[in-house]
Amino acid sequence: MDAVDITVLRALHAWRKAGHAALLITVVKTWGSSPRPVGAMLALRAGAEMVGSVSGGCIEDDLFDRFTDIEATPPTTLVRYGVSAEEAHRFGLPCGGTVELLVERNPCAEQLEELLNYLNAGALVRRTVECKSGNVQLTVVNKHAPLFLDNQQLVMYIGPQWRMLLIGAGVLAKYLASIAQSTGFTVTVCDPRPEHTYSWNECEVPLLRCMPDDAVIHFRPDPSSCVVTLSHDPKLDDLAVIASLQSPAFYVGAIGSRQNNEARRTRLMEHFEIEKETMQRLHGPIGLFIDSKTPAEIAVSIMAEIIAIKNGVALEPVMQVSAGKSRKERLERTWVS
């Protein structure tokens, strides 16, 4: 889930625990273009404050003005914006955009605390809301599914949908893990080298101290998973790559220079009999070319590529690190000559 939505639930829980009336507003359906996806959430405390977002801003302002008397609001209410072109323009929706929201009155503080405890433990939770009564049921599940809404109930899945396994617990892994978590990934790190894991904070990101191929088996990559090797040690990175390429992970990437990546591809095909078609799944050098130099910038580059592939964006070759560096070198030779 979006890290913003965790902030929404935390704020809502704090308000309800303090006895304040409040609303939980969820995007349940969109037509055409929409600034926020289905499942996005907004918490509203009447006449006081809002946390989160269901649009670009204008809808939030209207909701704040509309729901001034929360106690007079039904347990659940469906609200739709952007039915007409005039209304879409008024509320800042993109051309043709329409959004439908479910408004819940005074969610139970105890259930919000239970939900947050599940999420803090990395669990995926199915939240079922009865539309007539507003009653909520929480169930820990193993598989994500799309949001469902009919006249009887709303069923939505809250928690980590995307997972990431990092090989190597260096500085780059710390930056990449932080960015990945903020974009909704659950991150696990593997590094069997004690000198590299001494200062790793396992409270923030779980650490596996086994060999990388065993870590991949333990991680069990699925189509919502990605594996990124960052150790710069072929003995470790190659093990993870070999195991991951046989999995349904949507992204397998290995850090290293253009030369090192070509050497890795040749090595794995010649000595480990990995077929050329399978090897084409390997991303490397990883990231999009932004001429990154620092660990933080490199992490941004890598995460940008992973998010693009996750979202089904077709990346042009010119956007890749290899092509970008080659183009920069040609320009630099031209300037020198």
Strands 282-283 and 207-208: unpaired
Res 298 pLDDT > 90? yes
The predicted pLDDT at position 93 comes to 60
Asked if 185 and 3 count as a contact pair (C-beta separation under 8 A), the reply is no
| CATH, domain range 162-326 | 3.40.50.720
- Give 85's pLDDT tier (boundaries 50, 70, 90): low
Domain ranges of the chain: 3-158, 162-326
> What value does the mean pLDDT take over residues 155-167?
91
Report the chain's mean pLDDT, rounded to a whole number: 89
Taking only the tens place, the pLDDT of each residue in 221-275 is 988 899 999 999 999 999 999 999 999 999 999 999 999 999 999 999 999 989 9
The predicted pLDDT at position 241 comes to 97
In the chain the first and final C-alpha atoms are separated, in Å, by 51
The predicted pLDDT at position 2 comes to 63
> What value does the mean pLDDT take over residues 24-50?
87
- Give 136's pLDDT tier (boundaries 50, 70, 90): very high
Q: Which residue has the higher pLDDT, 152 or 97?
A: 152
**Angle subtended by helix axes 234-245 and 212-219, to nearest 10:** 30
- Give 215's pLDDT tier (boundaries 50, 70, 90): very high
pTM for this entry: 0.69
SS3 107: coil
Please identify which residue in the block is written with the tokens 């000559």: 337
- Detail the DSSP E strand segments found in the chain: 23-31, 41-45, 49-52, 76-81, 98-105, 124-130, 136-141, 148-149, 153-158, 162-167, 185-190, 207-208, 225-229, 251-254, 282-283
